[in-house]
A and B are shown apart, each in its own frame.
Chain A
Amino acid sequence: MSKNLQVSTTYIMTHLGLIFFLYPTDVIESTNEAHWVTVLFGFLFHLLIIFVYLKGLSYFQGQNIVHILMNKNKLAAWVVLLPVLLYLSWIIVLAVRAFAEVLSIAFLSNTPLWTLMLLLLIIPGFITFHGKIGGLLRLSVLFSFLFVLPVVFVMATSFQNVDWHYLFPLWTGHRSLIFLTHPSFYKSLFAYAGGFLLLGFLPSYAKFKPKAIYWGSLVLLPAYLISVYVPVLTLGEETASQLQFPYLFVVDTIAINWLMFDRINVFLLLSLVAFCMFFIAVTIWQILCIIRLGVKDISPNYLIPSIIMITFIICLCIPDWKTVDRLFQWNTALRIYVATVTPISIWTLGRLHAKKMKNELNNT
């Protein structure tokens, strides 16, 4: 049974949770004008790796990447899988730590940070443990039903104070491409590379058409653009670049007369927390997959609590926001390695596999 809707909502949910926090900061930092070029470049990079990845996967019917890699050379498999595993663990730590910080700033300044981090780990742990992958996929549909409406509402109202003059200049010649030299641009790829690996783990559990993913990514494009352009259009580039979370700041300034709530970023933040919990759950599941299929088939009853415990301890060791930011920066190299090597190696293996099958077919 094909699960196009479930897979594409899962794909959208995992990305939406990452867009609105650090992404605008990094993009605004990486260039002074014509931000759309930066966004589009990142987006095209994203489409490219997804295309290569899906193409590679399509050569192997119903196999996930751990199966594919393990069937070939074990050593070569770990050259690809180990960075993936490391990267996934790294982004769980970063996501939990960063989100706990955001939540603490936004709602619960008196609550100790460790409670928030524990909450952000235990709930995703429960989601993965109780639902397994089928549950995760179904949950994404329920989430999109419940939480996308508030996000769209906030996105629509966030245009309240924009000044469209800030949109210009749209193109500044070769200066528009200056962001390629700035490290922040590569940091901003986090929002694109966070969730795409999931697609490689799904084939053995759910059938889906690549078209569903491309449609899903089209839904994401406006979100990427809005998250960058709303702060720039409202505050101007100079001011926006001074802020830690520019989009959240702009949403906080919106006033709606008829609403009983004073701060509408509550809706946005809460929905994003839900998406982020979902993202963490999905990532835990991917780690689970790699360990169970690649190393040893340990029961999730032990594996999930230990993943949670280890992540929690690492999170506790990160003292402040500066360290989080530095970890993000350090993560860049690994991220680019994972985002390029994994799809390409799957694609190469796929080509070889297809050729071999063809030869075998001709011989018989």
Chain B
Amino acid sequence: MAVMDEVRTHFSSHPDYVNQQLQLASETFTITGLKSLINFPQTIHMVRESLLTASINRLELTQVFTGLGQTIPAETNRLISDILDGMLIAVHDASGLCVSIYPVPQPNSRPISLPVMENNVGGGNSAFNENLNSNMVLLRSQLNSSDLQMKTYILGKLVKTKVIVCYMDSLIDEQLLDNLTQKLESNITTDISNMKELSSVLEFSKFSLVTHYMTYELPQNAEKALKNGKVILFQERLPFAIVLPSLISDLFVTEDDMNHPPVYTWLLRCLRLIGLLTTLIVPGLYVAIVSVNPDVLRFELAHSIARSRLDVPYPAIIEALLLLGIMELIMEAIIRLPSSIGPTVTMVGGIVLGQAVVDAKLVSNLLIIVVAAATISNAVVVGFRNSYSLRLFKYLLLFLAALLGVLGLLSGLVIICAYLAGIRTLGVPFLQLIRPKGE
């Protein structure tokens, strides 16, 4: 068959291409596919078994054959794209009938396992992974509702990537959905393989300092987002649900809170808010108080701070930048290091360096406390994408505080608040609490 010859030529250099004849009674079938995507022994067994049963029972063999999968037109391009999608193509040699069959796939992902970036205390622990299908399974079993809508988009020109958009039909804000659909459809030919490219498809500003989406590994978080009227995107090979749009409440609220008594839920949220303010303000406050406005402090306190800085030879801003810089380096290094060496760095950074820096009179004792408080409270905020923004905003406050003291600190806060107030994701303002609404 000419079409099959063309397909064979196309895949001739592919080591995982399989083309096999299957003889059943008087009929010959050609089976073809990629063995890297298909478990061949099991799939052939499955196909042969049903054909064999049919021929023993004297049924019409071609009818049973077309019943195995979906009949497709015998076009070279169609066959190639189906084979690349991991389908098994079977051809009846006599009639030239082509059938695309769902095979037994090769395992291409880890099994459903514990989350890596998200920890929770009271809820379920199965996390999304790289496989789109198992993500669907998790979401469907978490949210068994006829209201749940799923739409598939295939994006990209050179490389096709599947994106699934999920939302609750009765709860979604129309404007949000329209914006999203319009952006996905108008950029359907853009190749996406990472979050940056997806962001450019959704036309988020490149210079945005706050994340426009949240990523969740736990299906219960995704479920909550859907119930609040947000949209979830699953992109092939990304092990999390992308929740659009992100709101300010995403900094404080996780679904896991709901597994505690309400009093503790609210206390935990307040704690996160305090953490957020601490990590933003404390380094700046140190610099402001030491270098510009020592008069706002009680005399005893101002005196003891001044004494601890007696031997430090440079201004407070340099001192703070020095230590914060080292802290950032440690945080980045811990991500890169193998887990067997990680604790060593923590120890060196935390104890040895901290003590030595003070002993060498390079920074004051108080600054160590300040930096520790800022770093710890940075981790309190929900979602590591949000903690990145805070890590950056802290420096804005630091520099302004060095220039203008406590007034600079306030100006920084006002600027950050104004920045947050002006941010919109797909037409939805960032500064909202639970349910995203258009303006």
Say if A and B assemble together: yes
Residue among A103, A126, A135 with max Cβ neighbours from chain B (10 Å):
A135
* B351 beta carbon closer than 8 Å to chain A: no
Report the separation of the CA atoms of residues A274 and B439 in the bound assembly, to the nearest whole angstrom: 25
Contact A130 B422 (CB under 8 A): yes
For residues 366 through 425 of chain B, which have their beta carbon under 8 Å from a beta carbon of chain A?
Answer: 404-407, 409-411, 413-415, 417-422
Contact A103 B407 (CB under 8 A): yes
* A131 beta carbon closer than 8 Å to chain B: yes
Task: Kindly provide the distance from the CB of A1 to the nearest chain B CB, expressed in whole angstroms.
Answer: 6
* B297 beta carbon closer than 8 Å to chain A: yes
Other 6 A-B pairs with CB < 8 A, given A142-B421, A260-B301, A270-B407: A111-B404, A132-B422, A134-B429, A261-B297, A262-B297, A273-B407
B299 neighbours in A (Cβ, 8 Å) = 262
Contact A138 B421 (CB under 8 A): yes
Report the separation of the CA atoms of residues A110 and B409 in the bound assembly, to the nearest whole angstrom: 17
Known: A107-B406, A126-B415, A130-B418. Is A142-B437 also a contact (CB below 8 A)? no
* B110 beta carbon closer than 8 Å to chain A: no
For residues 100 through 120 of chain A, which have their beta carbon under 8 Å from a beta carbon of chain B?
Answer: 103, 107-108, 111, 115-116, 119
Report the separation of the CA atoms of residues A198 and B404 in the bound assembly, to the nearest whole angstrom: 31
Known: A111-B404, A266-B406. Is A135-B298 also a contact (CB below 8 A)? no
Q: List 25 A-B contacts (CB under 8 A).
A: A1-B437, A108-B292, A108-B405, A115-B404, A127-B421, A130-B421, A134-B439, A135-B429, A136-B421, A138-B421, A138-B429, A139-B431, A141-B431, A142-B417, A142-B420, A146-B417, A259-B298, A260-B297, A262-B297, A262-B298, A263-B296, A266-B293, A270-B409, A274-B410, A274-B413
* A16 beta carbon closer than 8 Å to chain B: no
Contact B422 A135 (CB under 8 A): yes
* B49 beta carbon closer than 8 Å to chain A: no
Contact B418 A131 (CB under 8 A): yes
Report the separation of the CA atoms of residues A135 and B415 in the bound assembly, to the nearest whole angstrom: 12
Contact A261 B296 (CB under 8 A): yes
Q: How many residues of A contact B (CB 8 A)?
A: 34
B420 neighbours in A (Cβ, 8 Å) = 142
Task: Kindly provide the distance from the CB of B374 to the nearest chain A CB, expressed in whole angstroms.
Answer: 18
Task: Kindly provide the distance from the CB of A172 to the nearest chain B CB, expressed in whole angstroms.
Answer: 41
Contact B422 A119 (CB under 8 A): no
Which residues on A are within 8 Å of B, measured CB to CB? 1, 103, 107-108, 111, 115-116, 119, 123, 126-127, 130-132, 134-136, 138-139, 141-143, 146, 259-263, 266, 270, 273-274, 277, 281
Report the separation of the CA atoms of residues A135 and B439 in the bound assembly, to the nearest whole angstrom: 10
A260 neighbours in B (Cβ, 8 Å) = 297-298, 301
A1 neighbours in B (Cβ, 8 Å) = 437, 439
Contact B298 A261 (CB under 8 A): yes
Report the separation of the CA atoms of residues A111 and B293 in the bound assembly, to the nearest whole angstrom: 12
A142 neighbours in B (Cβ, 8 Å) = 417, 420-421, 431
A135 neighbours in B (Cβ, 8 Å) = 418, 421-422, 429
B419 neighbours in A (Cβ, 8 Å) = 130
A131 nearest CB neighbor, chain B only: B422
Task: Kindly provide the distance from the CB of A181 to the nearest chain B CB, expressed in whole angstroms.
Answer: 40
Report the separation of the CA atoms of residues A290 and B414 in the bound assembly, to the nearest whole angstrom: 26
- Other-chain contact of A123, B298, B415, B431 (Cβ < 8 Å): B415
- Other-chain contact of A138, B301, B404, B410, B431 (Cβ < 8 Å): B431
Report the separation of the CA atoms of residues A263 and B420 in the bound assembly, to the nearest whole angstrom: 30
* B295 beta carbon closer than 8 Å to chain A: yes
B437 nearest CB neighbor, chain A only: A1
A281 neighbours in B (Cβ, 8 Å) = 418
Report the separation of the CA atoms of residues A190 and B295 in the bound assembly, to the nearest whole angstrom: 32
A130 neighbours in B (Cβ, 8 Å) = 418-419, 421-422
A133 nearest CB neighbor, chain B only: B439
Contact B292 A139 (CB under 8 A): no
B431 neighbours in A (Cβ, 8 Å) = 138-139, 141-142
Task: Kindly provide the distance from the CB of A99 to the nearest chain B CB, expressed in whole angstroms.
Answer: 11
Task: Kindly provide the distance from the CB of B162 to the nearest chain A CB, expressed in whole angstroms.
Answer: 35
Task: Kindly provide the distance from the CB of A270 to the nearest chain B CB, expressed in whole angstroms.
Answer: 4
